[in-house]
Amino acid sequence: MSFFKKLKDKFSGSQEQEQTAEKYTEGLKKSRSGFSEKMNNLFARYRKIDEDFFEELEEILIGADVGFDTVMELIDELKMEVKRRNTNEPEALREIITEKFVEIYAGEGETSSELNIQDGLSVILFVGVNGVGKTTTIGKLAHQFKSEGKKVMLAAGDTFRAGAIEQLEVWGERTGVDVIKQAEGSDPAAVMYDAVRAAKSRGADILLCDTAGRLQNKVNLMNELQKVKRVIEREIPDAPHEVLLVVDATTGQNALVQAKTFKEATDVSGIILTKLDGTAKGGIVLAIRKELGVPVKFVGLGEKMDDLQPFDAEKYAYGLFAQAFEQREAEPEEETAE
Amino acid sequence: MMAFEGLAERLQGTMQKIRGKGKVSEADVKEMMREVRLALLEADVNFKVVKQFVKKVSERSVGQEVMKSLTPGQQVIKVVKEELTELMGGEESRIGTAKRPPTVIMMVGLQGAGKTTTTGKLANLLRKKYNRKPLLVAADVYRPAAIKQLQTLGKQLDMPVFSLGDQESPVEIARQAIQKAKDEHLDYVLIDTAGRLHVDEELMGELKQIKELSSPEEIFLVVDAMTGQDAVTVAESFNEQLGVTGVVLTKLDGDTRGGAALSIRSVTGKPIKFVGMGEKLDALEQFHPERMASRILGMGDVLSLIEKAQTNVDEAKAKELEKKMRTMSFTFDDFLDQLGQVRSMGPLDELLKMLPGANKMKGLNNVQVDEKQLGRVEAIIRSMTAAEKQQPEIINSGRRKRIARGSGTTIQEVNRLLKQFEDMKKMMKQMSAMQQKGKKKGGMPKLPFM
């Protein structure tokens, strides 16, 4: 059975499955129309695989912000595969590419998008550079946990940016969860201390900790973040149960540096890729995954409260290639036969 | 450090091959162009822009300039840098003024680009540099607490902020704000709009309405310097739909190469007017095409470093210091002073990073300047009495004990600092003696921790 078919079958089971698959297809509309249109175009124009073909493919992948080294490796692997299969039919590559995408992603290390949620209190710390959508993501997650019947609390750890505390408070009101805060400009570590204490004494299940956005090359600010994490660790030995790095999907190669530096400083356990709807292709997650082995846990596919979806590499690939896949479905099978 | 290789390092391999051949072939140029292409792609310059650019550079290189040169590698870098600078370049960061006040400026861009912060910075600049009276307008009614954010900035700047809450339409907010500016003789109206995707037709329509109603003198597209390949699409789309007049590049104080700058400039032809260089409200700076070119190519930013030193180091003080050093009357007070001056330039390892090739240099690539250690040194000095600072030789063992206790350090650390200070003074004496001989006056001496 073809790889696409397997993917499709996978998502045409239960209604719920179809719904999330649809969200991916819908949310990735723009990414897809750019990416997959270009792919289709490429496959339509080339009758045989040659250097020019690979060069164009390289450009499409680079255009999707897939890390540079990753693209180079991918192209090399594809070239080998072409040799191995002794083919020069572009069509044969189409599936291999999708497979490779999923393969890179499923590579080494943890791939599960499940969060580490324990009985009793689970603490999740959110980190990232400025303007990636940490606070919004926390709002969306609070909504999700709440609707699962969990007692959620929020910690307003961004005491630096003007209006950040109020922003989190609005989310607290919307979702009906308590926000622990102090005045703007106070020590974020102190806020965390308070929040963990309060969450413990009020018997919360989930504590979502916001932090101020910081560029990863600011040593002092990264130290501050480590301190915040230490305070949480001291209060609850296994905490934070997750440290999630929020990354803007429109970010280019710098996302790799972000992932690396934040991982060193706070031992990031997962990535949330925001703003994947609309314009971004978010190809950089492939590079991050490959270089650092940190799994993507969630993707932001829109502005609504339930637009945060657990990441699934196969669904992602399916979303990206769905159009191409459906077109092929419609075509008679004979076309590729010898 | 996961610093990407700069163009200079990239070209080294090719150079080695050429060396000894005595002649540069077209194939060599082609190979060099491949390195140029990679360097630009790694800096996030859009691949289409890269393609055009490399073609242009390649034409120039195959010609006399590079092939006949004795240092083809240097020549390629020179040509690349010149072309880059020219592409990004020229125009000054001035802000337009309407014939009849108030002048309206619209701030537009994607979510999280930094519009609100930039609005605050721009208002600050308008007042500080041009002596204007700006009105900040909170027209982001969608993001929770965006209005509050602008109001807080307004309070910090002590500037008026116009808001109608988040129930009124942004178009109406803009209309009333302009009226208010007229009534109160405020000469600039800065409209902070909500972040939106350029493909969101409804919200883009809203911006068009605001534009129609307010006839802005400037529409600034605010773009995150870390943006990848998509920067081109975003800029093109905003420009087509609204007619952007300039670009503000934010978060350039990060470690991104910032290739987005080149992409945006080359697809829209609109000037990059300002760059955001920090979180403080005065951290909005002029755009320097040449520096940006160096940065994209990973060649360090010496000019910015010099400028930083010039703005932060007091010339008169430096002279006085020099004299003190010559006469050996340098004290711990002076030392503290100098420490403060250097530190006011920013974190030391950040300064180091601005040096070209610093990430390649042995011993410098992984230097973590220990800010904590500096803090301890400072604490020790601050625990000295005025007399001790002036005359360190009076510090006996009793005093050392007291200083260690007072600064929360150990006697060993105090001893070490005193010894280092003595050595430094000696070194300075030698240095100034040498300089006297050479009749050359130096500027700042090196501190022992540098």
H, E, C per residue of B117-148: HHHHHHHHHHHHHHCCCEEEEEECCCCCCHHH
- Say if the Cβ atoms of B46 and A63 lie within 8 Å: yes
Residue in chain A closest to B146 (alpha carbons) equals: A163
Task: Provide the residue-wise pLDDT of chain A in tens; the chain has 338 residues.
Answer: 455 566 566 655 555 566 666 666 665 555 555 676 777 788 888 888 888 888 888 888 888 888 777 888 888 988 888 888 888 788 778 778 877 877 777 666 556 778 888 888 999 999 999 999 999 999 999 999 999 999 999 999 999 999 999 999 999 999 999 999 999 999 999 999 999 999 999 999 999 999 999 998 888 899 999 999 999 999 998 889 999 999 998 898 899 889 999 999 999 999 999 988 755 466 777 788 877 888 889 988 887 888 888 887 777 766 666 555 555 555 444 444 43
* Six-digit token string for A190: 């102190």
Mutate to test the interface with A, among B36, B237, B256 (most CBs of A within 10 A): B256
B255 in contact with A, Cβ within 8 Å: yes
Concatenated DSSP letters of A179-206: EE---TTS-HHHHHHHHHHHHHHTT-SE
Cβ under 8 Å to A: B residues 359-378: 368, 371
Which of A170, A251, A281 lies nearest to residue B144, judging by beta carbons?
A170
Is B417 touching A (CB cutoff 8 A)? no
What is the least distance, in Å, from the CA of A257 to any CA of chain B?
6
Q: Do B42 and A253 touch (CB under 8 A)?
A: yes
Contact (Cβ atoms closer than 8 angstroms) between residue B348 and residue B342: yes
pLDDT digits (tens, 9 = 90+) for A230-289: 999 999 988 899 999 999 988 988 998 899 999 999 999 999 999 887 554 667 777 888
Q: Which of B427, B418, B326, B423 is nearest to B381 (CA)?
A: B418
Q: Which of residues 181-210 of B touch A (CB under 8 A)?
A: 197-200
List of chain A residues whose C-beta atoms are within 8 Å of the C-beta of residue B156: 162
| Mutate which: A60, A279, A285, vs B, most B CBs within 10 A | A279
List the Cα angle B94/B238/B165 in 5-degree steps.
85
Cβ–Cβ below 8 Å for A215 and B253? yes
- Digit-coded pLDDT (tens) for B120-154: 999 999 999 899 999 999 999 998 899 999 999 99
Residues 6+ apart with CB under 8 A from B205: none
Which one of A139, A254, A260 has the shortest CB-CB distance to B226? A254
- Examine the predicted complex and report whether its ipTM is higher than 0.85: no
Strands B103-108 and B218-224: what pairing? Answer: parallel
Q: Which of A241, A229, A237 is nearest to A116 (CA)?
A: A241
Give B-chain residues touching A184 at CB under 8 angstroms.
152
pTM to 2 decimals? 0.76
Residues 6+ apart with CB under 8 A from A102: A313, A314, A317
